[in-house]
Structure 1
Amino acid sequence: MPSRDCPSPARSRRAPLFAAALAVGAGCLGLAGCGSSTPSQVYDLTAPVGAARQTPGRTQLVVAEPTALQPLESDRIIVRANDGSVSNIGGVQWSDRLPRLLQTRLVEAFENHGRAVARTGVGVNPDTLLQTEIRFFGVRVDGGAQAVVELSVKTINNNSGKIVASRVFKGAVPLAEVSGKSAALALDQAATKVFADVVRWAH
């Protein structure tokens, strides 16, 4: 029979685990909730509305998901400072990853103007592929705060793989203050203009 002063092997194994659990619990308390975060305000983008009249014999268009560097691959609203550093505006986010959100609104913009259009991955064999690179989509504070949207867009013949046309589109809206709501609304305004320009150019 084991002595009362000597814990059994089972109890000895449990003791370090219990101590570790207490340490983790204390750490969670120190981090104010351990994984909880302040709820973000979620913002969306608006597709421009047009006269949805389909032109007979119009070629089919497929919109690929835009490409972007890592800071623009998320659902966060970014700010580029004078020194080139990039940060996020806290407490706000887009309703989806920015590339996917832009793809969705571009498709909607073309549909609103009567173009036969789809996104990649839906089994459509298009005549033309629209490829977009997000050069910038956020707030710039060099020389005055602005919400800036800059997209490089190419139309590609799906049969030959050759670039038919390419153009850089840019929209900018001045900001009186760099806050989450004002940045999101100004970026939506700039993006809607850019979407309309892309549709007119590629239509």
Structure 2
Amino acid sequence: MTFVRRSRFARRLASIAHAVPRLAALLSGAVLTLALAGCGSTPTPTYNLSAPSGFTAGGSGNGQMVVVAPTALAVLNTDKVMVEPGPGQVAYLSDAQWSDTLPALLQARTIQAFENASKLRRVARPGDGVNADYQLVIDIRTFALRITDQGPVAVVELSAKLIGTQSGRILAAQVFKAAVPAASTAGPVATAALDSAQEQVLVQMVRWASAKF
């Protein structure tokens, strides 16, 4: 009787020992399958904004200015491309994203726009060690593809303030806006329309600010 019990116990141990490698192999295969599935997912296409060039901006002053990183509400402080399906509604394109968060990207393109307008030695970022006379403060009011009865329209609206560094006073302020129709809501088309609208706004802003400093 004792021999029979031991034999059954031995057979069970042998069965478990035999099953363990198979179970490990199955688990390993499942993990590998999941990893490959994750690697095979299609990444969201990334798009950039461009700085306007081929234009001039006046201004005979010798002041230096820094462009502060633009402020924006949380819905715009992202790398997602915003869509306004209707009044008070917010969505994002699923087939497009910006190459950086919108405020960081817009700050870089604003500085480049000033540089392209022959203001290379007079404009910088905060923290560049420049003893600036002025600060350009920008608030992103709208930067979205707006769905209207006439079709999608890329709308960019920026509020700009020129502040004296020493006095801390607002010396000038203005709102700049541009709207460019988009043929569709597809990522490449929508981002191209938004890029065109922001270029128009930046040209207006650079010419306005350049005349002040």
TM-score interval w.r.t. the shorter chain? Answer: 0.7 to 0.9
> 2:121 matched to 1:114?
no
1:76 to partner: Cα distance = 1.4
- Between Structure 1 and Structure 2, whose CA radius of gyration is higher? 2
The Cα RMSD (Å) is 3.0
1:35-94 Cα distance to aligned partner (Å, 9 max, x none): 864223222222121348995x52101000101111211111110111522111112121
Partner residue in 2 for 1:132:
138
> 2:202 matched to 1:198?
no
Partner residue in 1 for 2:188:
181
Q: 1:161 to 1:53 in 2, by over 3 A?
A: closer
CA distance in 2 between partners of 1:122 and 1:63 (Å):
11
CA distance in 1 between partners of 2:160 and 2:65 (Å):
14
Q: 1:136–1:149: 8 Å Cα contact kept in structure 2? A: yes
> 2:161 matched to 1:164?
no
**One-letter code aligned to 1:183:** A
CA distance in 2 between partners of 1:179 and 1:134 (Å):
23
1:196 to partner: Cα distance = 0.1
Q: 2:70–2:140: 8 Å Cα contact kept in structure 1? A: yes
More helix by share: 2
1:108-158 Cα distance to aligned partner (Å, 9 max, x none): 111111221001121222100000010111101133310000101111001
CA distance in 1 between partners of 2:131 and 2:41 (Å):
44
1:97 to partner: Cα distance = 1.2
Q: 1:201 to 1:52 in 2, by over 3 A?
A: closer
> 2:50 matched to 1:46?
yes
**One-letter code aligned to 1:142:** T
The TM-score with structure 2 as length reference comes to: 0.77
CA distance in 1 between partners of 2:59 and 2:181 (Å):
36
> 2:73 matched to 1:73?
no
1:107 to partner: Cα distance = 0.3
1:34 to partner: Cα distance = 4.5
1:198 to partner: Cα distance = 0.1
> 2:64 matched to 1:60?
yes
**One-letter code aligned to 1:154:** K
Q: 1:41 to 1:26 in 2, by over 3 A?
A: closer
1:197 to partner: Cα distance = 0.1
Structure 1 stretches of 5 or more lacking a match? 12-17
1:77 match: secondary structure: strand
Structure 2 stretches of 5 or more lacking a match? 1-8, 18-23
Identity in percent: 42
